Amino acid sequence: MFTLNRFEHNPILSPKKEHPWEAFAAFNGSPAHIGKKKFLIYRAMSEPDELKEPHMSISVVGTACSTDGVLYTERSVLVGPEESFDQYGCEDPRVTKLGDTYYIFYTALGGIPFGRENIKVAVALSTDLKTVTERHLVTPFNAKAMVMFPEKINGKVAVLLSYHTDTPPSDICYAEFDTVEDIWSPAYWNEWVTTIDAHKLSMRRNESDHLELGSTPVKTDKGWLVAYSHVQNYNHPNPVFGIEIVLLDLKNPRKILGRTKGPFMVTEAYYEKVGQVQNITFPTGAELDGDNFIVYYGASDTHCCKASIPLENLLDSILEKETDPVTRYPGNPIIAPRLGVAYEAGGTLNPAAIDIDGTVHILYRAVAPGNISTIGYATSKDGLSIDYRSNAPIYVPRVPFEQNSNGAHGCEDPRLIRIDEIIYMLYTAYNGVTPRVAITSISVADFLEQKWDTWTLPSAVSPEGIVDKDAIIIPEQINGKYMIIHRIGEHVCADFVPSLNFEDIQVKQCINIIAPRKGMWDGGKVGISTPAIKTKHGWLVLYHGVSSSTTYRVGCVLLDLENPTIVRARTAIPFFEPKEEYEHKGVVANVVFPCGIVVRDGTVFIYYGAADDKVGVATIKLSKLLSMLTV
């Protein structure tokens, strides 16, 4: 499993009004190095020229230099429209050094209106990344992206390219040459295209997907890493631009060793959502920086940005070498409906958990006929096997916002938070119309003595008429207030309350914490799963994500210790998802839904609902969870 961290100084390059040639946009950068100097070769666009026909922006290839990878200066035009094949623009460069020469492949626009007949790949050669010594048209057919491997493959010069980009579905293909001059040989390409199917890399998942090559290959001891653009629903009004990574064999790059299971990055940051073209993240460069794989990408067709992934975690995930991060208890499910126990006949699910004096106390949602939910109770000494279960619910609907005499209603999906000698239970109160967050409390002493009649009368945390679920409280004050995290609609929100007096616990605003990442595993909706665990790195919180296929999976976020509205890290892929039959089959298929978490001797116990009708427990080392989120 791995997380992706956007560079804190993003965007690293933006349009510069003082330079007319890049006043409109500066994006899709590709990195290169000369000694200690870092270069970024990028696409720059001018403002539309109202004195020319047609009124259009012109793209050129720009170059910028940096000593720290943060501040880029010495910005100038490296490749501009000069030839008939690129007279209307030079776009999206990818640079590779082979020998003493930098090969800068770019999209050449040779005519208007733009179309497959005049959009091709060209290459410019440079020894200093400031001047061009020669340039050539490469492909005689439509293509937009080409990258060169930074070393010869079995004695051959090798490239990847996007073939027929403007007549989708496009394909990512492989080609190799005896000499670099063959790269711009029309005879070579005319022969190559006659056997096109033999050159295609099999990477398409769905016919509606659009693939476009991204970064120059990066060599690792496991293979060549290549980032590429994966566009879902390309021909629909709202396509989803995501980034994926493929691992190719070192000696035979036609062979795919593995790839990310889906997009690990989609638009989230403001600079990715707003710009010349909204909601685009498009990879055009990559490199290694110590133990991290760095992806350079264009944001909203306006800015140059970069993000990092821990290399070892990335490779393990792609190669599926890592064992399942979580260990399911072989005795799962640990709680299931008991024959003859009416209050849980419809399901036992979504358990809260709290560890007190060596006993794990589990409070689970129990569903009676008619879809009436109450809270059941169980205990476990070892945190795995059940020692005791109550024969009657320990918490039942008592107030109008969780009651309905004519249909489904009740108390659902509890979470337990201990603050000093009080245990607070937040849960979903459902009156048959609108689910709302509610809160009740009980003293630790009464809880241990099972004096269930001492639960305080619940209070509604969220407003009437607003669908709100999945709530926790950060168990320490933040600047004198308590922070409540909850889910409104599809997003995870937060608000601060002055105290834990029930009359003060009312959420009145939605500070966005995490949102669905459209096109990813959590693209449908997200919700907080378990109470927060305090670590030296931040507040660790598990959350559930729902994909477009309605599968419930689990990831985690790391919130800032002093200001938990700030997300320090978020897993790019889930670490826990349905796998066993009891998680695939039930009242709702393909669901793992944690509500409870306990930490014992560095091991995290995760208590979860499986397929909405039974309870399981899984364990994972706390250090393993944190390794997914920290670099």
Q: What is the pLDDT of residue 353?
A: 98
**pLDDT score recorded for residue 609:** 98
For the stretch 128-182, pLDDT in tens is 999 999 999 999 999 999 999 999 999 999 999 999 888 777 889 999 999 999 9
| pLDDT > 80? residue 22 | yes
pLDDT surpassing 80 at residue 206 = no
pLDDT-above-70 percentage for the chain: 99
User: Residue 322 — pLDDT band, cuts 50, 70, 90?
Assistant: low
The Cα 386–Cα 389 span in angstroms is: 8
Mean pLDDT of the chain: 94
Tell me the per-residue pLDDT of 376-389, one tens digit each, with 9 for 90 and over: 999 999 999 999 99
Mean per-residue pLDDT, 548-575: 93
Average pLDDT over residues 425-430: 98
Average pLDDT over residues 414-435: 97
pTM higher than the cut 0.85: yes
The b/e string for 24-58 (b: 16+ C-beta within 10 A; e otherwise) is: bbbbbbbbbeeeeebbbbbbbbbbeeeeeeeeeeb
Mean pLDDT of 22-28: 97
The structural domains of the chain, ordered by start, are 5-319 (2.115.10.20), 343-627 (2.115.10.20)
Percentage above 90 pLDDT, the chain: 86
- Identify the pLDDT of residue 549: 79
Looking at residues 301-313, what average pLDDT do you find?
A: 95
Helix or strand or coil: residue 444?
A: helix
Quick one: pLDDT at residue 628?
A: 84
Please determine, for residue 199, whether its predicted confidence score (pLDDT) is greater than 70.
yes
Residue 368 has pLDDT above 90, yes or no: yes
Average pLDDT over residues 57-63: 95
Extract the tokens encoding 56. Answer: 């259009």
Per-residue pLDDT, 51:
67
Res. 114: pLDDT tops 90: no
Percent helix, percent strand, percent coil in the chain, to nearest 5: 10, 45, 45
Name, in order, each residue with C-beta under 8 angstroms of 150's C-beta and a sequence gap of 6 or more.
96, 97, 98, 216, 217, 219
pLDDT at residue 53 in the model: 65
Q: How far apart are the C-alpha atoms of 426 and 459, rounded to whole Å?
A: 10
- Does the structure show a pLDDT above 80 at 69? yes
Output the pLDDT for position 612: 97
Say if residue 20's pLDDT is above 80. Answer: yes
Give me the mean pLDDT over the 209-228 stretch: 95
The 10s digit of each residue's pLDDT in 450-466 is 999 999 999 999 999 99
| φ, ψ (nearest 5 deg) of residue 396 | -135, 160
Query: Which of 28-42, 319-333, 548-562, 577-591 has the least mean pLDDT?
Result: 319-333
> What is the pLDDT at residue 631?
58
Lowest mean pLDDT among 148-157, 320-329, 396-405: 320-329
CA 529 to chain centre: 17
Strands in 281-289's sheet, in edge-to-edge order, are: 5-6, 303-310, 292-299, 281-289
Least confident piece of the model among 179-188, 291-300, 308-317: 308-317
Contact 222, 535 (CB under 8 A): no
Check residue 49 and give its pLDDT. Answer: 75
pLDDT tens string 471-482: 999 999 999 999
pLDDT, residue 168, reads 75
